[in-house]
Structure 1
Amino acid sequence: MELNVYLSGEIHTDWREQIIKGCQSYDLNIVFCSANTDHDTSDSAGDILGAEQQSFWRDHKSAKVNAIRTKTLIERCDIAIIRFGDKYKQWNAAFDAGYCAALSKPYITLHREDIVHPLKEVDAAAHAWATTPMQVVETLKYLASK
């Protein structure tokens, strides 16, 4: 079975690469997709529609352009992996989790145990919670098994 997996959330560590490489090591039939993970191009996505003088409007425009990508990819995926990292609050990841929940799209959260409390509502709607990328790989291996 082929799975389309959306990788959402924290962009400061290599968790995406760990999951992709782990799934490749098992030769799983999985297609991965993700939001734009490059700060500069994400922040400037709205610039293609015209420059803005105020940072609020630049951010607003870029958020809307990025939302087109995110919305489309989440709607097309079979399952989402939503990572909450240690250094920054990932409001976008929480929003993606809520969107998945609203669409009845299964998702797995990936985060450390010490942030269980602030993520309790997000985790409550998730179909699984993992603490390591390898746990995600093993779960995807089970889901993609023939």
Structure 2
Amino acid sequence: MTWTVYLSGEIHTDWRQQIMQGAKEQGLAIEFSSAVTDHESSDAAGDVLGAESQAFWRDHKSSKVNAIRTKTLLEKCDIAVIRFGDQYKQWNAAFDAGYCAALGKPYITLHGEDIVHPLKEVDAAAMAWAQSPEQVVELLKYIVAKA
């Protein structure tokens, strides 16, 4: 069986690449998917539908276009990894975690100990909390290899 793992959240570090490389090195049968991680492209996703004079409406259109991809890939994945970084608040990641919880889709949160308290409800619904990409790879190794 090939597992599908959706990588959600923070886009300013290489955590996705670390997990994908670690899984490859372990020979894990995993196909990875993700939201668009290029910030400018994501922000401009709705621009093809016409220019907006207010930032709210541009963001509104782009978020809906991005949601087509996110919703579809989250629904199709076997498990999600949801990363909360240090630099920015990832409201989209929290939304993805809530969506996974509503779907009954298992997810792993990935974040530092310093934000445990603000993420207590998100972590409570998660199947695991990891603090490093290496821990995520070890979790995936156990999950996939034992399947």
Q: TM > 0.5 between the two?
A: yes
Instruction: Please tell me the root mean square deviation across aligned C-alpha atoms, in Å.
Output: 0.7
Percent of paired sites with the same residue: 75
**Which residue of 2 is the match for residue 88 of structure 1?**
88
Query: What are the Cα deviations for residues 89-122 of structure 1, in whole angstroms up to 9, with x where unaligned?
Result: 0000000000000000000000001110000000
Residue in 1 that maps onto 2:109: 109
Structure 1: runs of 5 or more not aligned:
none
Letter in 2 for 1:64: K
Quick one: which amino acid aligns to residue 125 of structure 2? A
Q: Which runs of 4+ in 1 moved over 4 A?
A: none
Question: How many pairs were matched up?
Answer: 146
Structure 2 residue runs of 5 or longer lacking an equivalent are none
How far has the Cα of 1:50 moved from its partner? 1.5
* 1:130 and 2:135 matched: no
- Indicate the residue corresponding to 1:27 in structure 2: 27
Deviation at 1:139, TM superposition (A): 0.6
3-state secondary structure, aligned to 1:45: coil
Amino acid at match of 1:63: S
Write the distance in 2 (CA, Å) between the matches of 1:104 and 1:55.
34
Letter in 2 for 1:123: D
Counterpart residue number, 2:44: 44
- How far the C-alpha of 1:51 sits from its partner, in A, is 1.6
Aligned-pair CA distance for 1:143: 1.0
Structure 1 counterpart of 2:70, which letter?
Answer: T
Task: Indicate the residue corresponding to 1:72 in structure 2.
Answer: 72
